[in-house]
Structure 1
C-alpha cells in the first residue's frame, strides 16, 4: 500500500484532534480510506469523483462479498471525508449526498422450543 495522500492524513488528524475520536476509530477510517484510495489509480482521484464513481466502488465491494453493514460503514466514512473536503474547500460539491445506505437484510425471528411453548401455555392456565 502506498503512502496516504496528505489530504487524507489531514482529515484523519482532524478526526482525532478536533473531533476527539478514539485511535481505534481513526484506524478504521484510515483502513477504509486506504481501500478507497487504492481502488482509484489516479492520485487525488477523490477530488474529481462523482456519485456514479462512488456507486461503482460500493457496488464492487458488495460483489466481493462485503456485508451491507461493512458497506454502510464505508459510506459513513466517505460521507465524513467528502464533507471535510467541502469544508476545507478542496471540493465544491459532495457526491455522497445522493447515495443511500445499503439495505441490511432483516433477520428472521428465533422460534420457541417446544418446552418454551409448553411453559407459556402452563403459565397462561395458572
Structure 2
C-alpha cells in the first residue's frame, strides 16, 4: 500500500465514518503528510504498512526541534489516529505510534472577558453603519449562545425557533443541537433581520443564511475575527481576543453563576465532559460554593 492511497482511504474514513468538518479533516491529513515529507527527505521508501516505531521515534525527535510542544503533541495524536485506522482496517497488525509519548503539556486556561468588557465591546459598535446592527446581533449571539465562529456563520433563518426560545446549531461533524436563546439576543437579531437584512440584495443560495456580508453572501470566519479584533483595539482592551473568547466567557459566566457542568456541555456541543471541565479551572471558588451548598457536613 502506497502513502497516497492510504491517505485517500483515511480521508474517506474521517469524512464519512467520523463526520469531521473540512478544517479538522485537513489538519489530520496534514499531520500524515508531514511524516511523508520527512521520509522523502531521507529518501526512505517505506510504506505505511511496513514503517516501524524506530523511524517514527526519529521523526518525532526531529519534529521537537522545529515546533512547539503543543504542535508536536497534536501531530503525534494525528499520526496515532492514522495508524489506529490502518490497524482497524487490518492493513497492519499494530499501531507503531502506540508507545510513543507526547510531550507533557500544562493545561492552557482559556482567555475570558468580564460582563463589563463584553458590554464595552458591544457598545463600541458603530450603529450608524448598516453592518453595525449585524455586528451587534452577531456578538450577542456568540456570547448569548456560546457558539463557535463556524456555527455562527452557518446559522440559518430556518434555525431560529424564537417562539420556543431556542436556536438549532450545526456543530462539528454536522451534529445538531438546540441551544436556548434569550429575549435580548432575539431582539437584536430581529432588529438586524427586519431593518437591515430585508434591504439587501441577497445572492442566490444565501437566502436562508442569517448573517450576510455587503454583497449578500455568507460571512467568512476571517471577517468575524477582524470585527472582534478591531473592536478590541477601538476599546483599548489589553487582552488577546477572538470570536472564541465570547464562547469561553459564556461558559465561564454560566459556571460562576452556578450552572450545572452537564448543561454547559450540552449547550457548547462538547462530545466529552472532559473538554468542558477546563472551565472548572478558571474560577475555583465555584467548587467551594458547591461544597458549602450541597455537602451534608458543610
Instruction: Bin the TM-score by the shorter chain.
Output: 0.7 to 0.9
Q: Is 1:68 the equivalent of 2:94?
A: no
What residue in structure 2 maps to residue 29 of structure 1? 28
2:53 pairs with one of 47, 51, 55: 51
What residue in structure 2 maps to residue 12 of structure 1? 11
> CA offset at residue 106 of structure 1?
8.0
Which digits, 9 at most, give the CA deviation of each residue in 1:50-71, with x for residues without a partner? 222111101101112x011111
Q: In 2, are the aligned partners of 1:5 and 1:44 still within 8 Å (CA)?
A: no
Structure 1 SS opposite 2:6: helix
CA RMSD after TM alignment? 1.9
Point out which structure has higher relative CO (alpha carbons under 8 A, 6+ apart). Answer: 1
Deviates more, 1:4-13 or 1:21-30: 4-13
> CA offset at residue 45 of structure 1?
2.7
Name whichever structure is richer in strand by fraction: 2
Q: Is 1:102 the equivalent of 2:80?
A: no
Instruction: Tell me the distance in 2 between the aligned counterparts of 1:93 and 1:7.
Output: 15
Structure 1 SS opposite 2:8: helix
Higher alpha-carbon Rg: 2
**1:29/1:106 CA distance change after superposition, 3 Å:** closer
Aligned length: 103
Instruction: Tell me the distance in 2 between the aligned counterparts of 1:30 and 1:85.
Output: 14
> CA offset at residue 46 of structure 1?
2.2
